[in-house]
Amino acid sequence: MKNKIQLIALDLDGTLLDSQKRLSRRNEEVLKECIRRGIHIVPCTGRIWLGVPDFIRDLPGIRYAITVNGAVVEDVQEHVVLDERKLSCEQAVEILNLARQFDTMYDAYAGGRGYGESRFLECMGHYGISPELQKMVRNTRESVPDVAEKIKNLGTPVEKVNYFFGDQAERQRAKEALLDRGDVLVSSSFPNNLEINALGASKGEAICRLADHLGLKREQTMGFGDGENDITMMTMAGVGVAMKNGMEQLKERADYITLTNDEDGVADAIERLVLGCGAVH
C-alpha cells in the first residue's frame, strides 16, 4: 500500500480529534509528513468549514475539505465549491417544522452558516449534548427566534438539518418519520443526534467526486471514521479505516481497524499503511 494512497479523508470528532476535541502532536506530525509527500489531507466532517477548529484549518497544505457530511466539496484555499448536494429550501423548512412533533433541539446550516434558536442553546444539556460539543455549537450557530422562518426567508438551499435528543425513543420516532419521506439521507455522528442531508450528500460519494476532480482513482483514497455518517467512507474509499472506538456497524465494513482517537489511531494507521515507516513523532 506504500506510495499508493494519494488522498486521505479524515472525520474529525471521535477520529482525528481526541475526546477533548484536541489534535495530538503525533497526529499533527503525521499529517504534516503526508502533506510533505504530496498526499492530500482532507478534513471530512459533518461540520461546516467555519466550524472546523482553527488548528485544522490553519495547517499548511490543507487545500480541500469535505463538509456537512459530503454536501459540500470545496477548494478552501481558493474558496471555490467543487461540488454540492443540498436540500431545497422547501425540504429544509418541512424538516424543521417536522421537528416540532418531537422533543428535539434542531438547527440548520445554510450558506456556510449555522442557525439555532436561543431557547435550545440555553438548555443543550436536556438534549444530551456534552459540554465539549455545547461549546462548538455555541461558536457555530447564529441565534435566531425561529430557524424554520429564518431558512424560509433566506430562500436558499440548505446544507444540513440537525436534530438532537435527550431520549432515544424520541430519536427513533423522528428517524422513522424522516426515512418515510424517502427524499433525504439520515445519519448520525453522535448517539443522540440525527443529521438530515440531501440525497447524494454522503462522505463516501464526496470522496469519489473529489478524487475524480484530482484525477485520482478510487483505490488511491483512504477514509477514517468512527460513526454512522462515516459508513460510506468504509465502503467507497479505496481503504476504509475504522477507529477502535467506532460503532460496530462501521468496523464490520472497514478494511482496517486502528487504535482509538485517544491513542493516536489516525497516526498509527497512516504510519503502518501509508508511510511505511515507524513513528515520525
CATH number of the domain that 147 lies in?
3.30.1240.10
Q: Which of 198, 218, 235 is the last residue of a domain?
A: 198
Instruction: Give the per-residue pLDDT at 2.
Output: 45
Boundary-marking domain end, from 198, 231, 246: 198
Backbone angles phi, psi at 116, to 5 degrees: -135, 170
Please check whether residues 119 and 190 belong to one and the same domain: yes
Q: Are residues 126 and 194 in the same domain?
A: yes
pLDDT of residue 272: 96
Q: Is the Cβ–Cβ distance between 146 and 153 less than 8 Å?
A: no
Domain span at residue 31 reads: 7-85+201-275
- Tell me the sheet residues that pair with 198: 184
In contact, 5 and 239? CB cutoff 8 Å: yes
Instruction: Indicate whether 193 and 225 sit together in one domain.
Output: no
47 and 72 housed in the same domain: yes
Q: CB neighbours of 272 closer than 8 A, spacing ≥ 6? A: none
Edge-to-edge strand ranges of the sheet holding 113-117: 141-144, 113-117, 104-110, 160-165, 193-198, 184-187
- Give, in order, the Cα–Cα distances in Å from 253 to each of 2, 232, 236, 240, 246: 22, 9, 10, 8, 11
Mean pLDDT per 10-residue segment, the chain (281 residues): 82 95 97 97 95 94 97 96 97 97 96 93 90 88 95 97 96 97 93 95 97 97 96 97 96 98 98 78 43
Instruction: Tell whether 1 is covered by a domain.
Output: no
CA distance 229 to 68: 10
pLDDT at 3: 46
162 and 187 co-located in one domain:
yes
Which residues, other chains included, contact 121 with Cβ-Cβ below 8 Å and sequence gap of 6+? 137, 138, 141, 143
Domain containing 252 — which CATH number? 3.40.50.1000
Say if residues 110 and 119 touch (Cβ distance below 8 Å). Answer: no
Question: What CA–CA distance (Å, rounded) separates 20 from 34?
Answer: 24
Cα–Cα distances in angstroms (integers) from residue 105 to residues 25, 37, 99, 121, in the given order: 35, 43, 8, 9
Shared-domain flag, residues 209 and 190: no
**Residue in the structure block whose three cell numbers are 462522505:** 203
What is the pLDDT, as a whole number, of residue 278? 52
